[in-house]
Amino acid sequence: MVLVSGIGYSNLRDMSFGRVLLSTLEQMDWPEHVHVEDLNYGPIMIYQSLEASAVKYDRAVFVSAAKRGREPGTLHIYRWHGELPRDSEIQARIEEAITGVIDLDNLLIVCKHFGVLPEDVTIVEVEPQSEEWGSEFSPVVADRVDEAIQAVRQRALDQ
């Protein structure tokens, strides 16, 4: 079983990359073993939902924007190493998550800490240029949309 989602807030231009792409992904046809889910709520609630769910995923593919100091518009596709930070950092992520902060790193750390993430997690991540209020991507990020969708699809459908 494969879990696919896009993570981010609405209306924050490039930072909404995951959220906007999720809408496109939701409208695509997928085989039965691929579930496209909206995980844009607090990561504590996500971990609790995954823990309670009868479906156990073997793989997850998440698309998002993340500021990591790269050239804006860089699309980075990688398998998440799954290493957890020190306890105080996990605690800080839980506290952010429980008070409603939606964020890819929070989701990964919280869900990994509570043992509900599959071993195989792929991240499709764009470096944002613009993160102010608004609904349009900056041109360098808009150029990456098709490529990112293709990457998500490919990783989700890989046998």
Q: Which of residues 43-72 bind another protein (CB under 8 A)?
A: 44-45, 48
Q: Which of residues 17-36 bind another protein (CB under 8 A)?
A: none
Nearest residue (CB) to another protein, 105 versus 120: 105
Exactly one of 96, 108, 116, 144 binds another protein (CB under 8 A); that residue is: 96
Exactly one of 29, 83, 87, 132 binds another protein (CB under 8 A); that residue is: 87
Exactly one of 66, 94, 107, 109 binds another protein (CB under 8 A); that residue is: 94
Closest to 123 in 3D by CA, of 101, 151, 97: 151
**Rounded Cα–Cα distance for residues 159 and 150 (Å):** 16
CB 70 within 8 A of CB 76: yes
Burial 60-77, CB ≥16 within 10 A → b, else e: bbbbbbbeeeeeebebeb
Nearest residue (CB) to another protein, 88 versus 159: 88
Nearest residue (CB) to another protein, 32 versus 133: 133
Interacting residues toward another protein by CB under 8 A: 9, 41-42, 44-45, 48, 87-88, 90-92, 94-96, 98-101, 103, 113
